[in-house]
Amino acid sequence: MSLELAAILPHPPILIPTIGKENLIKLNLTNTAIKKISEEIKNNGIESILIISPHGFVQSKAFTMNLSPRFTCNFENFGDFQTKKEWLGDIGLSHRIREKLETKAPLQMITDSKLDHGSAIPLYLLTEKINKIKIMPIYYSGLTNEAHFKFGQLLKSEILYHNEKIAVIASGDLSHRLTKEAPAGYSSKGKKFDKRIVELLRQNKTKEIIKMDKNFIHEAGECGLKSILILLGIMDEIKHTPKILSYEAPFGVGYLTMKFDL
């Protein structure tokens, strides 16, 4: 099996030290958890990271895969004009997925070397001290929860037969509406959603996650659920143990870091 690591990571820009500065201490649990995953990636000799992001080229009726041979990131939109990084694209994996899945799933291809922040922030933090690692970004869609889970199942068959060690990262934040000061305003559903999704993940209750009420999800104001569903589809029928490394919400947004021991 080529799938060596699977995890859920948040993507707050404040985790980038030059952006967060003195506020970084407020996300110490998250920062420590991501560093732990980064060490595992390095120590396990992982060669490629498939990252699922909510903030790239998102289409209403199709999933999107970025086929660029090279990727770059910067954080100029957040006031940081210094921090930059580059990666090679995993051309072999992306072309095999394209060949096998384009008639089985609504999948469209783009070529864009500049990464969105939902991909860039986790990748930068995970590979800051790792130079030779390839990446493959995938963006979720406006399709149903069940469609995202099934898309993950299709991806799994190609990932498991890849000849390199792969990590799959679901990038996404939980509710953006946990407090009155939160970016999307307050909703009582926010804390209920975060508590519910964390508990269902802990208990491996994937079916209940897929069937979560649409209005409840919308009211919570999240951006990570569909990334998580693709990841759960990839891990379907693979023995795994969920492990919560951190959950905190100092700015009114729920940040979950979870690893799945395989």
Give tens-digit pLDDT for 51-98.
Answer: 999 999 999 999 999 999 999 999 999 999 999 999 999 999 999 999
Least confident of 49-53, 131-135, 186-190: 131-135
CATH of domain 3-176+222-261: 3.40.830.10
Q: By percentage, how much of the chain surpasses pLDDT 70?
A: 100
Q: What is the mean pLDDT of residues 242-254?
A: 98
Spatial contact of 3 and 238, defined as CB atoms under 8 Å apart? yes
Residue 247's pLDDT is 98
Residue 162's pLDDT is 82
pLDDT above 90: residue 163: no
pLDDT above 80: residue 103: yes
Residue 90's pLDDT is 96
Residue 218's pLDDT is 97
Judge if pTM exceeds 0.95. Answer: yes
Instruction: pLDDT band for 213, please (50, 70, 90 cuts).
Output: very high
- CA 125, CA 5: separation in Å to the nearest integer? 16
Q: By percentage, how much of the chain surpasses pLDDT 90?
A: 95
Q: What is the mean pLDDT of residues 242-249?
A: 98
pLDDT above 70: residue 24: yes
What secondary structure does DSSP assign to the chain, as a single string?
--EEEEEEE---GGGSHHHHGGGGGGGHHHHHHHHHHHHHHHHTT--EEEEEESSSS-BSS-EEEE--SEEEEEEGGGTEEEEEEEEEE-HHHHHHHHHHHTTTS-EEEE---BPPHHHHHHHHHHHTT--S-EEEEEE-BSS-HHHHHHHHHHHHHHHTT-SS-EEEEEE----S-SSTTSTT---HHHHHHHHHHHHHHHTT-HHHHHT--HHHHHHHT-S-HHHHHHHHHHTTTS--EEEEEEEE-TTSS-EEEEEEE-
pLDDT above 70: residue 158: yes
Point out which residues pair with 241 in neighbouring strands.
261
- CA 119, CA 170: separation in Å to the nearest integer? 9
Residue 1's pLDDT is 60
